[in-house]
């Protein structure tokens, strides 16, 4: 079961609340689409006034004028427990009174929100006469109850939000099982739910209503049922089939509502969609982001994934680039769960600090990353019953509360939403630029990347991150490339100078420069060499002795992919012989960013030396590897002795 839902269930039983709660977390790629949206038939579209119609065009949400739109919002669920037990016993009127107050309260408090994620909570659609199989499971789903409360509760609440200028993203009842499969009963359940919703006359082609297909799938079975997992293309391909069936059902019903597609890994894995995307028009991807995920900083680790502290901005950005950016290059992204606060407040699922953009912490780096990405809508998942009490009055240090502590999400997000809505403070007089996350002189290993963040400093002492508006140039593009958003990729050994130039709103231009030295990709140092890529190993950088775990692997990992297409071969020489026939050693290369891919393997048999022809590498299936993007290179062994690495060299 999902760890968060186990915790919710514990509280649920302890407080004797009603039988089926929401799983809401408890406190404690590129180019324009050439697919045209089919014209809707007269009478197919509910009339909701002047609410702008949004469409997916390429990687963006756009309005009818063609402007890019990124939405910002909050979340709601309709169960007694998550509504603070202000109603109960399937009281539709009581539920509506409470949740209408939440919407009105958010607006009255000054929150500049324009979408809400609305959970079609299984409290209403579960058959209470049936035994519970798992927390928030689909096994007790009653179609008749779902249809009844869709009409009586969910549709009226969606209409209420739309009337106040708030788009609605509907989420289906409950949570995904730990493991799903194409054509299983959960796939059938989702097809049934969205078949009903997409045919509803007040929801079908309603420009104010969008569909998020599922909540937090974790793993999926392979087609042959031999294994389950996530993160490999074989699993992305199955997830594409799983979700495509739901999308096709919605479109077969004539509904052109925007659809937000989830990923595996609790909605954290999306890179494979860039290779095998969901087909159709008006498609985006719905992701979740919490402290500790994607290498971000967390005061306390998430129950789902991630550690208790990441690597600041750099590792968060790299994690985003690996997991989310490939999908963001082809379609819009919507973050349908995200929050943070110091653990002492016990008011959010995510436990972390706002921190500093380009430095430590979670919140400021989250905003910086999604703003740079440019096509990300996002919400604050913290409870609306807390947010409606927000007052725009600064707190006092030492006496902060959850709502006014700058290190908790409500205070900064409240003001960021105002900024997005056009209530930003005019830019001051630009005085200088500062480097963030890089120094004036930097060293990067070939195949790696770092991220230059640029801060503008103004005469009044204020500052802001301006990386997405900076023009980067490089005097030696054969050595490093610099992306528009400051990603520096090391291509070849050598040195280069990068110049960052920014022009303010008042037409004042400032520049700042820094140097980058690209290092050998096969450095035998503890900083660069990982002896425990698989299994627990050890490495001595003085003697160059590697000892892997049993059947283990140690070597080098390349964040951006190592491009060796301009080289002829790799020469590897070891410093010891292997007389024991049971001690196997091989040199392996992977052109996918996972150790579970099939590598090209070169065995050391009666020799200390091997040569890898980079343009004729083949994996165990006989498929050719691509030398332009190698992600993992190193040594596998049976783990029965030391490996002395004399040298690993490139030949041009």
Token output for 558: 């390349």
How many angstroms separate the CA atoms of 194 and 172, rounded?
Answer: 8
Token output for 158: 């969606």
- Looking from the CA of 153 toward its CB, the CA atoms found within 13 Å total 27
Instruction: Select the more confidently predicted residue: 35 or 67.
Output: 67
pLDDT for the residue 639: 86
Local confidence band at 334 (pLDDT 50, 70, 90 cut-offs): very high
Local confidence band at 579 (pLDDT 50, 70, 90 cut-offs): low
Local confidence band at 578 (pLDDT 50, 70, 90 cut-offs): low
Over the Cα atoms of the chain, what is R_g? 26
Burial state string for 59-92 with b = 16 or more CB within 10 A and e = fewer than 16: bbbbeeeeeebbbbbbbbbbbbbbbeeebeebee
pLDDT for the residue 5: 44
Beta strands in 415-462 (DSSP E): 430-436, 441-445, 449-451, 453-458
Burial state string for 105-137 with b = 16 or more CB within 10 A and e = fewer than 16: bbeebebbbbbbbbbbbbbbbbeeeeeeebbbb
Instruction: Select the more confidently predicted residue: 7 or 448.
Output: 448
Partners of 556 in the β-ladder: 633
Q: Is the pLDDT of residue 9 over 70?
A: no
- In whole numbers, what is the pLDDT of the chain averaged over residues? 91
User: How many residues does the structure list for the chain?
Assistant: 652
- Looking from the CA of 134 toward its CB, the CA atoms found within 13 Å total 16
pLDDT for the residue 6: 41
SS3 of residue 75 by DSSP:
strand
Token output for 177: 């099982």
pLDDT for the residue 310: 79
Residues sharing a CB contact under 8 Å with residue 425, sequence separation 6 or more, in sequence order: none
CA distances from 370 to 6, 234, 379 (A): 31, 28, 12
Token output for 248: 């096709």
How many angstroms separate the CA atoms of 416 and 408, rounded?
Answer: 13
Q: Average pLDDT of 607-620?
A: 96
Q: Average pLDDT of 72-98?
A: 94
pLDDT for the residue 48: 65
pLDDT for the residue 442: 96
Place of tokens 């967390």: 298
Q: Is the pLDDT of residue 162 over 90?
A: yes
- Looking from the CA of 210 toward its CB, the CA atoms found within 13 Å total 26
Token output for 347: 């008011």
pLDDT for the residue 34: 39
Q: Is the pLDDT of residue 211 over 80?
A: yes
Number of other residues whose CB lies within 10 A of the CB of residue 43: 8
How many angstroms separate the CA atoms of 227 and 204, rounded?
Answer: 38
Token output for 170: 């509907």
Burial state string for 360-391 with b = 16 or more CB within 10 A and e = fewer than 16: bbbbbbbbbbbbbbbbbbbbbbbbbebbbebe
Which CATH code of 2.160.20.10, 2.30.180.10, 2.60.40.1080, 3.40.50.280 fits the domain covering 430-519?
Answer: 2.60.40.1080
pLDDT digits (tens, 9 = 90+) for 368-413: 999 999 999 999 999 999 999 999 999 999 999 999 999 999 999 9
Q: Average pLDDT of 67-71?
A: 98
pLDDT digits (tens, 9 = 90+) for 103-144: 999 999 999 999 999 999 999 999 999 998 887 889 999 999
How many angstroms separate the CA atoms of 212 and 260, rounded?
Answer: 5
Q: Is the pLDDT of residue 42 over 60?
A: no
pLDDT for the residue 25: 52
Contact at 8 Å (CB) between 304 and 2?
yes
pLDDT for the residue 136: 84
- Locate all alpha helices (DSSP H) within 388-487, ordered by sequence: 410-420
Residues sharing a CB contact under 8 Å with residue 242, sequence separation 6 or more, in sequence order: 180, 181, 182, 187, 220
How many angstroms separate the CA atoms of 341 and 129, rounded?
Answer: 39
pLDDT digits (tens, 9 = 90+) for 512-557: 999 999 999 999 999 999 999 999 999 999 999 999 999 999 999 9
Going from N- to C-terminal start, the domains of the chain cover 1-28+65-175, 177-288, 289-333+341-374+406-423, 430-519, 530-651
Q: Is the pLDDT of residue 502 over 50?
A: yes
SS3 of residue 77 by DSSP:
strand
How many angstroms separate the CA atoms of 411 and 208, rounded?
Answer: 28
Q: Average pLDDT of 177-181?
A: 97
Fold matches, 430-519 and 530-651: no
SS3 of residue 39 by DSSP:
coil
How many angstroms separate the CA atoms of 185 and 187, rounded?
Answer: 5
Partners of 510 in the β-ladder: 502
The closest alpha carbon to 198, from 118, 242, 254, 155, belongs to 254
Local confidence band at 424 (pLDDT 50, 70, 90 cut-offs): low
Which CATH code of 2.60.120, 2.60.40, 1.20.950, 3.40.630 fits the domain covering 530-651?
Answer: 2.60.120
Give the lowest-confidence range in 34-48, 438-452, 476-490. 34-48
Q: Is the pLDDT of residue 22 over 60?
A: no
Backbone angles phi, psi at 416, to 5 degrees: -65, -40
Partners of 600 in the β-ladder: 589
Q: Average pLDDT of 209-236?
A: 96
Contact at 8 Å (CB) between 383 and 393?
no
Instruction: Select the more confidently predicted residue: 36 or 329.
Output: 329
Instruction: Select the more confidently predicted residue: 249 or 576.
Output: 249
Contact at 8 Å (CB) between 375 and 332?
yes
Local confidence band at 335 (pLDDT 50, 70, 90 cut-offs): very high
């Amino acid at each position: 079961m999902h760890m968060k839902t186990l915790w919710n269930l514990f509280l649920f039983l302890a407080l004797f609340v009603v039988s089926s709660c929401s799983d809401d977390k408890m406190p404690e790629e590129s180019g324009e689409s050439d697919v045209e949206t089919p014209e809707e038939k007269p009478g197919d579209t509910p009339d909701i006034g002047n609410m702008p119609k949004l469409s997916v065009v390429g990687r963006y949400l756009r309005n009818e004028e063609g402007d890019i739109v990124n939405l910002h919002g909050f979340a709601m669920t309709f169960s007694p427990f998550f509504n603070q037990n202000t109603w109960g016993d399937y009281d539709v009127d009581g539920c509506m009174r409470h949740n209408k107050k939440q919407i009105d309260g958010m607006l009255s408090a000054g929150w500049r929100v324009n979408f809400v994620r609305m959970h079609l909570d299984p409290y209403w659609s579960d058959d209470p006469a049936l035994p519970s199989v798992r927390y928030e499971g689909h096994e007790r789903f009653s179609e008749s109850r779902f249809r009844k409360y869709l009409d009586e509760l969910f549709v009226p609440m969606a209409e209420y939000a739309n009337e106040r200028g708030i788009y609605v993203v509907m989420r289906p009842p409950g949570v995904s099982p730990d493991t799903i499969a194409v054509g299983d009963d959960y796939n059938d359940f989702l097809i049934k739910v969205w078949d009903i919703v997409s045919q509803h006359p007040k929801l079908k082609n309603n420009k104010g209503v969008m569909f998020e297909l599922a909540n937090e799938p974790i793993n999926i079975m392979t087609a042959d049922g031999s294994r389950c997992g996530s993160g490999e293309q074989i699993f992305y391909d199955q997830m594409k089939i799983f979700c495509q069936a739901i999308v096709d059902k919605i479109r077969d019903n004539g509904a052109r509502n925007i659809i937000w597609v989830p990923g595996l890994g609790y909605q954290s894995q999306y890179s494979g969609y860039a290779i095998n995307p969901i087909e159709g028009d008006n498609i985006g991807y719905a992701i979740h982001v919490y402290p500790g995920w994607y290498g971000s900083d967390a005061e306390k680790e998430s129950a789902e994934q991630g550690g208790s502290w990441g690597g600041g901005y750099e590792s968060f950005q790299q994690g985003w680039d690996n997991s989310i950016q490939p999908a963001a290059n082809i379609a819009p992204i919507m973050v349908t769960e995200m929050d943070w606060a110091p653990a002492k407040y016990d008011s959010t699922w995510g436990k972390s600090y706002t921190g500093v953009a380009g430095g430590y912490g979670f919140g400021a780096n989250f905003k910086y990353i999604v703003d740079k990405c440019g096509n990300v809508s996002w919400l604050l998942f913290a409870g609306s019953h807390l947010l409606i009490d927000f007052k725009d009055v600064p707190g006092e240090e030492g006496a902060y509360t959850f709502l006014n502590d700058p290190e908790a999400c409500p205070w900064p997000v409240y003001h960021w939403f105002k900024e997005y809505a056009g209530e930003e403070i005019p830019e001051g007089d630009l005085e200088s630029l500062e480097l963030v996350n890089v120094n004036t002189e930097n060293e990067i290993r070939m195949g790696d990347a770092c991220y230059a963040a640029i801060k503008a400093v103004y005469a009044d002492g204020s500052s802001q991150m301006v990386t997405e508006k900076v023009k980067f140039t490089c005097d030696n593009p054969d050595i490093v490339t610099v992306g528009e958003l400051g990603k520096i990729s090391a291509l070849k050994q050598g040195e280069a100078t990068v110049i960052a130039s920014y022009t303010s709103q008042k037409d004042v231009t400032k520049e700042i420069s820094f140097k980058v030295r690209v290092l050998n990709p096969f450095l035998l140092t503890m900083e660069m060499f990982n002896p425990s890529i698989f299994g627990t190993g050890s490495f001595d950088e003085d003697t160059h002795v590697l000892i892997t775990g049993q059947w283990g692997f140690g070597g080098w990992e390349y964040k951006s992919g190592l491009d060796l297409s301009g080289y002829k071969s790799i020469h590897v020489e070891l410093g010891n012989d292997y007389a024991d026939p049971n001690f196997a050693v091989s040199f392996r290369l992977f052109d996918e960013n996972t150790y579970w891919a099939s590598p090209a393997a070169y065995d050391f048999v009666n020799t200390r030396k091997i040569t890898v022809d980079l343009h004729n590498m083949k994996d165990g299936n006989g498929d050719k590897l691509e030398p332009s993007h190698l992600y993992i290179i190193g040594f596998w062994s049976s783990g029965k002795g030391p490996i002395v690495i004399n040298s690993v060299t490139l030949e041009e």
